[in-house]
Amino acid sequence: MAFHIQEQRWRGVSIVCDFDGTIALEDVTDRLLDRFADPSWIHIEEQWLAGKFGSRECMARQVSLIEANRGELDRYLDTVEIDPAFPSFVEACERSGDIALNVVSDGIDYAVKRILANHALARLRVLANALITLPGHRYRLEFPHSAADCSVQAGTCKCAIARSDSLASPHRPATILIGDGTSDFCVASRADFVFAKDRLLAHCQANTIPHLPFDTFSDIERELAQVVGGFHRSVQSASHHMETPSDA
């Protein structure tokens, strides 16, 4: 495995992990719309793909077309499978002691949390768009993790989540992105390292972003120690270069 990690002084590792198509084996939001929304959601999708508005407006308009009670939503959500290797990956992060794993999705928080809970993973931190129940089995979205300066006008701005006030510090956490699609493109250029598949993999290859491909989380778990070790070695190297002789 050959990759380069830019020399920095890191403090811990923060993982930004996509959900739909990455942890979940299908795009849960699209499947919810397929089952429970007016078919005009597809036209809204086409307008978004044509660049007429951002993903936040797209999601808000699409979710407003859903008509189903919570029981109907749950019956579908309870069938969703996740990558079988993901629970082992979570445990590896927890054992490390210095890796913070965040599930960050431009999808629906209720769906993400329900599916994770079904797999004994309710303890994970989830940042996603908030589903609000309305009368008549209708719904709307709120966007607690949006950002006014988001370049793609996302409901959940992954770039804003990946950065923090500590980014100006020489001791910020290293950021690893795990993802598969277009919602990960922007943050990929800001992350320190990327595990990528599908469209995100092609994007990283085209833009020379430091990355490794993966098919399942077992691939990531196998390489994680070496990637994190690269961050630790970078810390040691930076510390060494900053030392000055006592008699200088």
Among 25, 31, 57, CA closest to 44: 57
Q: H-type helices in the chain, by residue range?
A: 28-36, 41-49, 55-63, 70-77, 86-96, 109-118, 158-162, 185-188, 198-206, 217-242
Q: Collapsing DSSP states into helix, strand and coil, what is residue 19?
A: coil
Domains of the chain, by residue range, sit at 13-242
Tens-place pLDDT, residues 27-82: 999 999 999 999 999 999 999 989 999 899 999 999 999 999 999 999 999 999 99
Tens-place pLDDT, residues 140-160: 999 999 888 877 788 888 888
**Domain 13-242, CATH among 3.40.50.1000, 3.40.50.300, 3.40.50.970, 3.40.80.10:** 3.40.50.1000
Q: Collapsing DSSP states into helix, strand and coil, what is residue 97?
A: coil
**pTM confidence score:** 0.85
| For residue 6, pLDDT beyond 80 | no
